[in-house]
Amino acid sequence: MSAIIVVSSERFSGKSSLVVGLALELRDRGFKIGYMKPVGAYPIKVNNEKVDEDAYFVREALGLTDPLTEISPYFLTWDNMTRYMRKTPPNPQSRVKNAYNKLSEGKDLMILEGAQNFLHGRILNLSALELADVLQAKVLLLDTFNEELSVDRILSAKDFFGHWFLGVVLNWVPPRRMDFTKNLLGRYLTSQGINMFGSVPVDRVLRSITVNDLAEGLNGSIICAADKGDELIESMMVGAMGQEQALRLFRKQANKVVITGGDRSDIQLAALETPTKSLILTGGHRPSPLVLGHAEEIGVPIILVDYDTATTVEMVEAAIGHQKMHSPKKIERIRGFIREGFDLDLMLEEIGMHIFR
């Protein structure tokens, strides 16, 4: 059995997505894949148990049945950090090791997800380097592309992880820099003895949020075209101007949600005329029946919320910034990127699994 740990230099860099994509692709090749996230960050409550949010979704996406407490044994919230500073918990490494042993039973490959960055977890002796040592896992770096910083970060990561370092994947690469990462940067890293497995471009779909998730986050109700709840929203616009200005503005942004008052039929219709995935009507006002009927007809869900516009905008901004990946469309998208842009064969060879092929 082999193990890799996916780490990043920044948070929100797409580790969970990469883990799901890799796991599903490898599973298609016949491998049995296990998953664990030893140190989590953002807990949610599932069946009265606190569990890392990302870990929960990866588990769901992969259809695993292992107990959540084993998959995600620790999380480092501020609250926990202060507690651990007062009293160090007894041997977290062995608790992780035990869970890992159970989770990896009968598996060909364990994919571990690192904490927020590769230093995070050190307080529990569970930073990425320590985990690599304890679990004999190779470290795969997911680097959020930055023209000026990426190269040095990657070179330093290799120095830091030493023989555990497996290589790097670049994420959020602007389309115009894809050629650069594949050619000049790829050649340079190879010459430095670093495996460059691939690069994933900036992708609007992966940044997006579904209509259903947005409605849920806003405690809103979808009052028409509910069958379009899986549609993905990439951006947000607010409508408080005249109809003609609204139309001009709304045309400039595709796949958006438009936030406006329930009494502004003109804005609502202007939004429906342009590439809009959903309307959020604030203040609890219902739209005109004519607008409602039109929206239903063209399949654009209307979300009714009780908040005022300013509050709604804040909430939607936060929701679109911190996107989740658990929509089937997104998972398919990630798999597509891995099939096209990730050198799986190279990775399998590097972790000694190519012989199974």
Residues that bind another protein (CB under 8 A): 174, 176, 204, 224, 242-244, 247-248, 251-255, 263-266, 268-270, 272-275, 288-294, 296-297
Cα–Cα separations (whole angstroms), residue 56 to 4, 18, 52, 164, 304: 19, 15, 6, 27, 29
Nearer to another protein, 155 or 292 (CB): 292
Nearer to another protein, 125 or 243 (CB): 243
Q: Is 346 exposed, middle or buried (0-12, 13-18, 19+ CB in 10 A)?
A: middle
Where is 309: in which H helix or E strand?
A: helix 309-321
Q: State the minimum distance, in angstroms, from the CB of residue 111 to another protein.
A: 30
Q: State the minimum distance, in angstroms, from the CB of residue 287 to another protein.
A: 8
Given a contact cutoff of 8 angstroms between Cβ atoms, the answer to whether 62 and 24 are in contact is yes
Nearer to another protein, 63 or 289 (CB): 289
Q: State the minimum distance, in angstroms, from the CB of residue 268 to another protein.
A: 8
Nearer to another protein, 174 or 321 (CB): 174
Backbone phi, psi, residue 175, to 5°: -50, -35
Q: Give the C-alpha separation, 7 to 118, whole Å.
A: 6
Q: Give the C-alpha separation, 320 to 120, whole Å.
A: 25
Given a contact cutoff of 8 angstroms between Cβ atoms, the answer to whether 258 and 195 are in contact is no
Nearer to another protein, 241 or 351 (CB): 241
Nearer to another protein, 117 or 265 (CB): 265
Q: State the minimum distance, in angstroms, from the CB of residue 15 to another protein.
A: 21
Q: State the minimum distance, in angstroms, from the CB of residue 144 to another protein.
A: 12
Q: State the minimum distance, in angstroms, from the CB of residue 260 to another protein.
A: 11
Cα–Cα separations (whole angstroms), residue 22 to 54, 184, 308, 313: 15, 25, 42, 35
Q: Give the C-alpha separation, 133 to 122, whole Å.
A: 13
Positive or negative: CA dihedral 44, 45, 51, 54: negative
